[in-house]
């Protein structure tokens, strides 16, 4: 009996030893947490999806937008538990936007999604690979910062599952959903497509309210390729996003979309305050840029001033190598410039840098922040693998909350001085006139002297506006500065002789002794 048992064990070990090895190995140390994984199939009922099927037939049934939600999290497991196989991730391809697809049709759907030889040749090998994740296990008690992962163009939510597992092992909750267009599975490369993925990011942040372990005061959005464009748009709309990671993100490679978005006020580099880590592939030659038809006359990232910005370039990595599933499925003959081991080494350092950035800005880790600012060799990074460029944020940014924080720190009496200083570094700096006006009136009920300070800035920004002088005069009245109020009501009338409010106030003020 013992001999049979020994032979069985030996046979099992031999089978494991003979199993083809994946191209991918994580060359960065995992953290102390076991990784849990679960899938939530849900709908965003505020948006519709899929008007017609692929044959043009009107779709019946559920019309809300499907959000296949993948969650990696710090977990607890029993000793008897077994980690997932990578095939569980691949199975999810079948139900990205059709949760009710019959079981017998799902394998064919997966094969259809993996239709290129690039993926199909290595399907059998990869689906049997063991992951670091345990499905549907208990969450580790605690409060963990959050990373929303935004995939590349039309890509599955698990395209960087190895990176997501790595982050979860270091104490992060990671959520992701597939990249899908506004009304069909394929993502469109336009503002409508951007809006669709931004909506998905916002939905996931909202869903995290249901996860008691999620710390929603510390949220980062990491995006690869197309997702590294949409995450920036999301941060423009949602100040709960406190950090951004671009994995060779398209915000750099699609300047025409960034410029188009700026023209319709969807994007403004002067208003982006979330710190950004941009991890870049090898530099492109001018010939390659021209061949790819990427415009080089405008760079959104060059316009950034008001957020901490880290540009980390890996001369050994190409674009596809920022997503682990591409490394996993790549055929050996495509590893021309670097071997699989060298690619994984670069990916591992990319993962380390990302972890340090998240630790610095989501966990307030001073050691991690210093790591980011160090030269690579000081962090024991082989010099040929990474180059680093850092830029610290200027303050305040061109938005009222950031400007208000600066005044609270330095004193409202310094408001004009701070504005003049900012103008020297950024001549285009402006706050919205009406918004500042509302801010000033709100301050009148709290402290009229602070209202005067803020409305003086509005006059400096909009010296040709009769209304800015009228509002400043009103604040000066409230603060007891009669002569100042009279002078600014007169200035308002010079710019707008029909300002009845200024006429009435001047008549009353000048009549008083």
Residues 411 and 345 in one domain: no
Note the maximum CA span of the chain: 114
Residue 64 forms part of a structural domain: yes
- Of 372, 391, 410, the residue that ends a domain is 391
* Digit-coded pLDDT (tens) for 329-355: 887 656 666 778 888 999 999 999 999
Number of folded domains in the chain?
2
Residues 346 and 419 in one domain: no
Q: Which residues pair with 149 in a beta bridge?
A: 176, 222
Return the minimum-mean-pLDDT range out of 284-293, 416-425, 459-468.
Answer: 284-293
> What per-residue confidence (pLDDT) applies to 336?
65
Burial class (CB in 10 A: 0-12, 13-18, 19+), 89: buried
Q: How confident is the model at residue 452 (pLDDT cuts 50, 70, 90)?
A: very high
Specify which of 120-124, 127-131, 325-329, 384-388 reaches the highest per-range mean pLDDT: 127-131
Residue 316 forms part of a structural domain: yes
Closest CA to 53 of 177, 185, 193, 192: 185
Percent of the chain with pLDDT over 90: 63
Does the pLDDT value for residue 149 go beyond 70?
yes
Q: How confident is the model at residue 235 (pLDDT cuts 50, 70, 90)?
A: very high
> What per-residue confidence (pLDDT) applies to 290?
59
Return the minimum-mean-pLDDT range out of 93-107, 140-154, 219-233.
Answer: 93-107
> What per-residue confidence (pLDDT) applies to 339?
79
Residues 336 and 382 in one domain: yes
Q: What is the CATH number of the domain that holds 431?
A: 1.25.40.10
Residues 55 and 173 in one domain: yes
The set of residues, in sequence order, having a beta carbon less than 8 Å from that of 377 and lying 6+ positions away, is: 383
Lookup: tokens for 46 = 């505020």
> What per-residue confidence (pLDDT) applies to 91?
95
Indicate the helix (H) or strand (E) that contains 45: strand 34-48
Q: CA 426, 239, 410: angle at the middle one, nearest 5?
A: 50
Q: How confident is the model at residue 141 (pLDDT cuts 50, 70, 90)?
A: very high
- Of 343, 364, 391, the residue that ends a domain is 391
Residues 304 and 421 in one domain: no
- Of 330, 359, 391, the residue that ends a domain is 391
Percent of the chain with pLDDT over 70: 90
Rounded Cα–Cα distance for residues 332 and 327 (Å): 10
Answer whether 360's CB lies under 8 Å from 369's CB: yes
Residues 118 and 31 in one domain: yes
Structure-derived torsion over alpha carbons of residues 434, 440, 441, 442, reported in degrees to the nearest 10 = 110
3-state DSSP call for residue 269?
Answer: helix
Closest CA to 32 of 85, 66, 61, 74: 74
Lookup: tokens for 360 = 């610095």
Q: What is the CATH number of the domain that holds 352?
A: 3.40.50.1820
Q: How confident is the model at residue 468 (pLDDT cuts 50, 70, 90)?
A: very high
Residues 262 and 409 in one domain: no
Residue 1 forms part of a structural domain: no
Average pLDDT, the chain: 89
Rounded Cα–Cα distance for residues 264 and 258 (Å): 10
Answer whether 61's CB lies under 8 Å from 28's CB: no
Q: Are strands 241-247 and 276-280 parallel, antiparallel or unpaired?
A: parallel
Residues 329 and 433 in one domain: no
How much is the average pLDDT of 92-104?
A: 92
Residues 133 and 201 in one domain: yes
Return the minimum-mean-pLDDT range out of 142-146, 312-316, 345-349, 403-407.
Answer: 312-316
Matching residue, tokens 């319709």: 264
Q: Which residues pair with 277 in a beta bridge?
A: 245, 310
Q: Which residues pair with 37 in a beta bridge?
A: 72, 135
Residue 176 forms part of a structural domain: yes
Residues 322 and 417 in one domain: no
Q: How confident is the model at residue 83 (pLDDT cuts 50, 70, 90)?
A: very high
Does the pLDDT value for residue 231 go beyond 50?
yes
Residue 6 forms part of a structural domain: no
3-state DSSP call for residue 142?
Answer: coil
3-state DSSP call for residue 407?
Answer: helix
* Digit-coded pLDDT (tens) for 264-305: 888 888 889 999 999 998 766 555 555 555 555 678 888 888
Rounded Cα–Cα distance for residues 168 and 83 (Å): 14
Burial class (CB in 10 A: 0-12, 13-18, 19+), 117: exposed
Domain that holds residue 480: 400-511
Rounded Cα–Cα distance for residues 236 and 245 (Å): 14
Residues 372 and 420 in one domain: no
The set of residues, in sequence order, having a beta carbon less than 8 Å from that of 25 and lying 6+ positions away, is: 341, 344
Per-residue burial over 446-462, b if 16 or more Cβ lie within 10 Å, else e, is eebbbbbbbbbbbbebb
* Residue 179 or residue 341, greater confidence: 179
The set of residues, in sequence order, having a beta carbon less than 8 Å from that of 52 and lying 6+ positions away, is: 58, 59
The set of residues, in sequence order, having a beta carbon less than 8 Å from that of 379 and lying 6+ positions away, is: 371
Indicate the helix (H) or strand (E) that contains 110: helix 103-113
Answer whether 207's CB lies under 8 Å from 69's CB: yes
Does the pLDDT value for residue 356 go beyond 80?
yes
> What per-residue confidence (pLDDT) applies to 2?
45
Angle, helix 448-461 to helix 400-410, in steps of 10 degrees: 130
Answer whether 415's CB lies under 8 Å from 456's CB: yes
Lookup: tokens for 277 = 């880590």
> What per-residue confidence (pLDDT) applies to 376?
81
Residues 178 and 255 in one domain: yes
Indicate the helix (H) or strand (E) that contains 492: helix 482-495
How much is the average pLDDT of 197-221?
A: 97
Residue 82 forms part of a structural domain: yes
Lookup: tokens for 430 = 């402006």
H helices present in 312-339, as ranges:
324-329
Residue 10 forms part of a structural domain: no
SS (H, E, C) 272-324: CCCCEEEEECCCCCHHHHHHHCCCCCCCCHHHCCCCCEEEEECCCCCHHHHCH
Residues making up the chain, counted from first to last: 513
Q: How confident is the model at residue 317 (pLDDT cuts 50, 70, 90)?
A: confident
Residue 7 forms part of a structural domain: no
* Residue 245 or residue 385, greater confidence: 245
Q: What is the DSSP letter of 66?
A: E
Lookup: tokens for 251 = 């915000």
Q: Are strands 241-247 and 214-224 parallel, antiparallel or unpaired?
A: parallel
Does the pLDDT value for residue 357 go beyond 50?
yes
* Digit-coded pLDDT (tens) for 12-39: 444 444 568 888 999 999 999 999 999 9
Answer whether 224's CB lies under 8 Å from 159's CB: yes
């Amino acid at each position: 009996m013992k001999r049979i048992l020994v032979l069985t064990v030996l046979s099992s070990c031999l089978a494991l030893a003979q199993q083809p090895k994946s191209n991918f190995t994580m060359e960065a140390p995992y953290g102390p947490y076991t990784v849990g994984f679960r899938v939530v199939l849900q709908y965003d009922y505020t948006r519709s999806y899929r008007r017609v099927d692929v044959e043009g037939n009107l779709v019946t049934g559920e019309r809300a937008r499907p959000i296949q939600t993948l969650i990696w999290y710090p977990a607890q497991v029993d000793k008897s538990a077994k980690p997932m196989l990578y095939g569980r991730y691949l199975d999810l391809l079948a139900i990205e936007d059709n949760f009710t697809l019959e079981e017998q049709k799902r394998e064919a759907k997966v094969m259809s999604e993996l239709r290129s030889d690039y993926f199909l040749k290595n399907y059998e090998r990869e689906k049997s690979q063991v992951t670091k994740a345990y499905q549907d296990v208990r969450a580790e008690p605690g409060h963990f910062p959050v990373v929303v992962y935004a995939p590349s163009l039309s890509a599955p939510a698990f395209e960087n599952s190895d990176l997501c597992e790595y982050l979860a092992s270091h104490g992060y909750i990671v959520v992701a959903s597939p990249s899908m267009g506004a009304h069909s599975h394929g993502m469109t490369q336009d503002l409508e497509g951007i809006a669709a993925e931004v909506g998905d990011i916002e939905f996931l942040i909202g869903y995290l309210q249901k996860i008691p372990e999620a710390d929603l005061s510390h949220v980062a959005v990491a995006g690869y390729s197309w997702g590294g464009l949409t995450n920036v748009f999301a941060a423009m709309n949602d100040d709960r996003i406190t950090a951004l990671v671009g994995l060779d993100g398209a915000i750099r490679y699609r300047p025409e979309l960034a410029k188009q978005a700026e023209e319709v006020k969807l994007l403004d580099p002067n208003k982006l305050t979330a710190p950004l880590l941009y991890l870049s592939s090898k530099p492109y030659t001018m010939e390659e840029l021209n061949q790819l038809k990427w415009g080089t006359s405008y760079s959104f990232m060059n316009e950034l001033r008001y957020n901490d910005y880290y540009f980390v370039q890996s001369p050994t990595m190409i674009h596809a190598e920022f997503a682990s599933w591409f490394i996993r499925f790549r055929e050996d003959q495509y590893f021309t410039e670097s071997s699989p081991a060298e690619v994984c080494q670069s990916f591992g350092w990319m993962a380390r840098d990302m972890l340090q950035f998240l630790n610095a800005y989501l966990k307030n880790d001073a050691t991690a922040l210093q790591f980011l600012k160090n030269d690579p060799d000081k962090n024991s990074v082989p010099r040929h693998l990474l180059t680093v460029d850092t830029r610290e944020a200027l303050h305040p940014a061109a938005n009222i909350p950031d400007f208000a924080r600066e005044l609270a720190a330095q004193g409202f009496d310094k408001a004009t001085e701070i504005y003049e200083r900012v103008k020297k570094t950024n001549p285009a700096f402006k706050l919205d006139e009406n918004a500042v006006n509302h801010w000033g009136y709100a301050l009148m009920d709290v402290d009229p002297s602070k209202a005067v300070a803020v409305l003086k800035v509005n006059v400096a920004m909009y010296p040709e506006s009769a209304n800015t002088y009228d509002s400043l005069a009103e604040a000066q009245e409230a603060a007891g500065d009669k002569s100042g109020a009279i002078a600014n009501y007169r200035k308002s009338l010079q710019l707008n002789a029909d300002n009845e409010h200024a006429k009435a106030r001047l008549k009353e003020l000048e009549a008083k002794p």
